[in-house]
């Protein structure tokens, strides 16, 4: 099939590349000339494992190309994906200006019937607005070209997006039009050969499904973080609690790892959007607001523990921070707990040394210039470790799971603050170091 994907951000680039991998002819459209130049050279502007090789292979075969010419991309496309950003407005609502601008441009360029697919995460009712924008643009041209608008939300995890797209656990297609459903089935059948993973539903049902999925996962995280805080006060080891409840199949082990809160481009934005959507229809968003409030305060829990240990004035101290990205296998630091922590420590005059295998450059862009003067970016995790008072772990990269405790023994205070509960406290103590986690019992109970 011939496909146009508008937007070459995270979702658009993964979507276009994976469709090309299955033999489709894909044109990815963007207005960012610099990004297009990079992609034309095979340079992927984001870190996503496996994406580089996949893109290079499909560029070489001619199945994917990049362009700033929407008109040309629509000439022979039968399906057009809208995959542009929906950043949050100040009130938490999703900014649909990019989506609706693209919809208008589709109406201005359309020359034959197509199926337009909302791939961006959008509030309930957005497909109606997209349909109206396209119809108005066609009417202005005096054209009556048939089209349909489908909702096809993505369920991609950063760091595992290629696998998620190529072997999805479900494919949600929101459409009431049988011909559109059949076209989407033809497109997605190669991705569901093992068994039928396609779930048809109404357009609005699909739009809500995406938000509900992310909000549920965010709720599990905030719930467990609140349990962890209680464990801190009651002398309970939250790791035992996690295993105890996770073994219940009704709960499961996924997303119940306590830590310093969630970040990224999805959970924070989508929870806030749901809060706004609920308010618009007079529903009090008690659960969503509690999830948001807990996550906001959770990002400062480790800061509170550091201040409790050293005091408010940290001017004589320096800290090594391992991990900057909001999760492993990405360079994304949007709303990352590490950025919140670094900002809070710098505000207390601490010196910060940071290491992340992928996210240093994005962190440089995320921090304010006056903060950067207090932050050193390291080339290796153990660089100048002897100059730091303590180690702080903020991202659970695999390379941090079995550290060189002998080298960590040169920390001035011989202390680890674990914002992801990666280590067993007893193991750290056996190496002569002190350990402070979140909801972890620092010293084992006597036998």
Distance CA 166, CA 188 (A): 10
Tokens 């089935």 sit on residue: 185
Distance CA 236, CA 92 (A): 36
- The distance from CA 408 to its chain's CA centroid, rounded to whole angstroms, is 31
Reference 87, options 261, 273, 250; nearest CA is 273
Instruction: Please say whether the beta carbons of 98 and 126 come within 8 A.
Output: no
Distance CA 150, CA 127 (A): 7
| 231: annotated active-site residue | no
- Catalytic residue (choose from 18, 28, 231, 266): 266
Q: Which two tokens stand for residue 69?
A: 């010419």
Reference 352, options 373, 379, 382; nearest CA is 373
Distance CA 418, CA 127 (A): 44
Instruction: Please say whether the beta carbons of 227 and 261 come within 8 A.
Output: no
Give the Cβ contact number of residue 353 at 10 Å.
Answer: 21
Residue 174 backbone phi and psi in degrees, to 5 = -100, 105
Q: In what order do the strands lie in the sheet with 2-6?
A: 64-67, 25-29, 2-6, 79-82, 114-118, 147-151, 171-174, 198-201
Distance CA 140, CA 123 (A): 27
Reference 268, options 327, 201, 197, 204; nearest CA is 327
Instruction: Please say whether the beta carbons of 357 and 287 come within 8 A.
Output: no
Distance CA 390, CA 120 (A): 41
Distance CA 331, CA 339 (A): 13
Instruction: Please give the full DSSP string across 21-46, using - where no structure is assigned.
Output: HTT-EEEEE-S-HHHHHHHHTT--SS
Catalytic residues: 266
């Amino acid at each position: 099939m011939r496909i146009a994907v508008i937007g070459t951000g995270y979702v658009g680039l993964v979507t276009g590349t994976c469709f090309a991998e299955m033999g489709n002819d894909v044109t990815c459209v963007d207005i960012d000339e610099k990004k297009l130049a990079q992609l034309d050279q095979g340079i992927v502007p984001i870190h996503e494992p496996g994406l580089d090789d996949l893109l290079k292979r499909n560029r070489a075969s001619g199945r994917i190309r990049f362009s700033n010419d929407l008109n040309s991309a629509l000439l022979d496309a039968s399906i057009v994906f809208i995959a542009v950003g929906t950043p949050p407005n100040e009130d938490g609502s999703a900014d649909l200006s990019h989506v609706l601008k693209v919809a208008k441009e589709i109406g201005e360029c359309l020359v034959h019937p197509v199926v337009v697919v909302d791939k961006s995460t959008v509030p309930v009712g957005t497909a109606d607005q997209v349909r109206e924008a396209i119809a108005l643009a066609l009417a202005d041209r005096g054209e009556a070209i048939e089209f349909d608008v489908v909702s096809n939300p993505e369920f991609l995890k950063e760091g595992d997006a290629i696998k998620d797209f190529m072997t999805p656990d479900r494919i949600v297609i929101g459409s009431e039009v049988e011909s559109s459903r059949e076209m989407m089935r033809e497109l997605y059948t190669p991705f569901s050969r093992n068994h039928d993973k396609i779930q048809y539903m109404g357009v609005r049902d699909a739009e809500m499904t995406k938000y509900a999925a992310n909000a549920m996962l965010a709720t599990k995280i905030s719930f467990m973080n609140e349990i962890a805080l209680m464990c801190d006060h009651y002398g309970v080891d939250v790791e035992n609690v996690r295993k105890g409840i996770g073994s219940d199949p009704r709960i499961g082990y996924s997303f119940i790892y306590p830590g310093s809160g969630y970040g990224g481009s999805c959970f924070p934005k989508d929870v806030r959007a749901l809060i706004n959507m609920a308010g618009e229809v007079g529903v009090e968003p008690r659960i969503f607001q509690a999830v948001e409030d807990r996550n906001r305060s959770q990002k400062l829990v480790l800061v509170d523990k550091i201040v409790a240990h050293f005091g408010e004035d940290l001017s004589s101290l320096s800290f090594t921070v391992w991990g900057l990205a909001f999760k492993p296998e990405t360079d994304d630091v949007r709303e990352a707990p590490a950025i919140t922590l670094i900002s809070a420590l710098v505000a207390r005059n601490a010196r910060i040394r940071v290491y992340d295998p992928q996210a240093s450059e994005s962190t440089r862009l995320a921090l304010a210039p006056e903060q950067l003067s207090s932050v050193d970016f390291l080339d290796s995790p153990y660089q100048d470790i002897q100059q730091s008072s303590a180690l702080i772990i903020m991202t659970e990269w695999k390379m941090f799971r079995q550290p060189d405790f002998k080298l960590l023994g040169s920390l001035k205070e011989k202390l680890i603050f674990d914002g992801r509960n990666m280590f067993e406290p007893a193991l750290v103590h056996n190496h002569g170091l002190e350990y402070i986690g979140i909801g972890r019992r620092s010293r084992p109970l006597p036998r």
